Amino acid sequence: MAENTRRDFIKRGALGTAAMLVYPPSRVLGANDRVRVGMIGVGGRGQELLKQVVGTPNAQLVAIADIYTRSRDEAKRMAPGIQTLDDHRRLLDMKDIDAVIVASPLHIHSRHFLDTLAAGKDLYSEKTMTWSVAEADQCLAAAKNSNRVVQIGLQHESSGSLADARKWIKDGIVGKVTQVESWMSRNSPHGKGQWVRQVPPDCTAQNVNWKAFLNGRPDREFDPFKFINWRLYWEFSGGNVTENMVHQIAWIMTALDLPEPSAAFMSGGVFSEKDGRQVPDTIVVTLEYPADTVVTWQSTFSNSHYGLGERLLGSDGTIEHISGATDMVTGRSAEGIRYYPESVNRHNGTALTGETPNQNHMANWIECVRSRKTPNASVEIGYRSAIAAHMANMSYRRKQRVTLEMAKTLQPES
């Protein structure tokens, strides 16, 4: 990590700690009051969330803040009644906003997270909760010291498949699970890199607040490609581990009630997408957990045959959760969860198919803002899944097995 980045990081840390001390009271919502929502960062994912919140009963989108003219214009077209702002701090100053959705790039999550809580608003923050372990510690502490409702954008925490898996485990028909396999696979058409987005002609230094995007990273000339394709670079991203593994690992950790991993190892490389990106396209992660469990996650961007899924291998039964050859993000696949008994320990056991419907993750958040209950993807699972992802990336970048203790003390690398 460059020295000025480290200084900025420490400074941001200090700001975060200061922010934790002040929590203005929230508005008490009456039975007929709508939750008034603001959004920070309304790009690809933000626009999907915008549609969701606009379609949620008892919620009203009031304003959005984004540093790129195109994102502001597109949001305004989608929800003409809203106010559009170019600075998230102005949005957080608005007294008529109760709750805020953050869908900015990964390296800015913790700033938007801490600022939102300090402004006394409830929060929906996209995954991965933070870019680094230290930021995850700060955000968890801030959330715990506040009485704010926090939902993380890990929508599979609201899935019926997770409810089914938890029920089977609780019913005792799975037995002791010592091993979990999980995988996620995609393919890219020849000549087109996975995740690569074209830079729109209006993506210029005039139309983008580049300094706000850099968020304390070393200053440099505007780079439209990096601004649009931040996912490909460590400075702003955690690669596929923070983009996709985090969804599956959160699902597995919730199903099995796992704490943070005790150690992580990750290998792989940039093997298929040779376009100058830094984050690997081919990945094998091993996560060790304290209670005799090891979890693996594999991913590739050059073969989609096996889609994605998780297999929980228990002494008394197997849980297999499979999505077709698409991904967790779009959800466009025939998803299914099944239980298969292990005949050596459950002679008369029968196979089961999960049937619990998914809950609406956005509606769950809005309901919790009203009821003050804990949402399905709490800050704790946001934290534990973020730590797992960061440990994996640290291992890959240092080419060594990383324990939880090491992860807590090592400096993040930009």
Ligand X SMILES: NC(=O)c1ccc[n+]([C@@H]2O[C@H](COP(=O)([O-])OP(=O)(O)OC[C@H]3O[C@@H](n4cnc5c(N)ncnc54)[C@H](O)[C@@H]3O)[C@@H](O)[C@H]2O)c1
Residue placing its CB nearer to ligand X in the complex, 149 or 173: 149
- Interface with ligand X: number of residues (CB under 6 A): 27
The single residue among 34, 45, 76, 401 that binds ligand X, judged by CB under 6 A, is 45
Give every CB contact of residue 241 below 8 A, 6+ residues apart in sequence: 266, 283, 285, 389, 392, 393
Place of tokens 């690669």: 239
Residues 325-344 that bind ligand X (CB under 6 A): 329
Structure tokens at 342: 């292990």
Helix (H) or strand (E) run with residue 388 in it? helix 379-398
Give every CB contact of residue 392 below 8 A, 6+ residues apart in sequence: 241, 245, 264, 265, 266, 285, 287, 297
Residue placing its CB nearer to ligand X in the complex, 119 or 174: 119
- The window from 100-108, 163-171, 282-290, 349-357 that contacts ligand X (CB under 6 A) reads 100-108
Output the smallest distance, CB 229 to ligand X, in A.
8
The reply on whether position 105 binds ligand X by CB under 6 A is: yes
Query: Is the distance from CB of 248 to CB of 328 less than 8 angstroms?
Result: yes
Query: Is the distance from CB of 157 to CB of 254 less than 8 angstroms?
Result: yes
∠ at Cα 268 (400, 236), nearest 5°?
Answer: 85
The single residue among 39, 100, 101, 106 that binds ligand X, judged by CB under 6 A, is 106
The reply on whether position 382 binds ligand X by CB under 6 A is: no
The single residue among 153, 261, 382, 412 that binds ligand X, judged by CB under 6 A, is 153
Give me the residue whose beta carbon is nearest to ligand X. 43
- The window from 102-110, 116-124, 165-173, 288-296 that contacts ligand X (CB under 6 A) reads 102-110
Output the smallest distance, CB 391 to ligand X, in A.
18
The single residue among 127, 186, 384, 390 that binds ligand X, judged by CB under 6 A, is 127
SS3 at position 333: coil
∠ at Cα 287 (283, 292), nearest 5°?
Answer: 150
By DSSP bridging, strand 59-65 and strand 83-85 are parallel
Residues 57-96 that bind ligand X (CB under 6 A): 65-68, 71, 88
The single residue among 37, 42, 114, 377 that binds ligand X, judged by CB under 6 A, is 42
Distance CA 304, CA 327 (A): 10
The reply on whether position 103 binds ligand X by CB under 6 A is: yes
Contact positions toward ligand X, by CB under 6 A?
A: 40-46, 65-68, 71, 88, 103-106, 108, 126-127, 153, 155, 212-213, 215, 243, 329
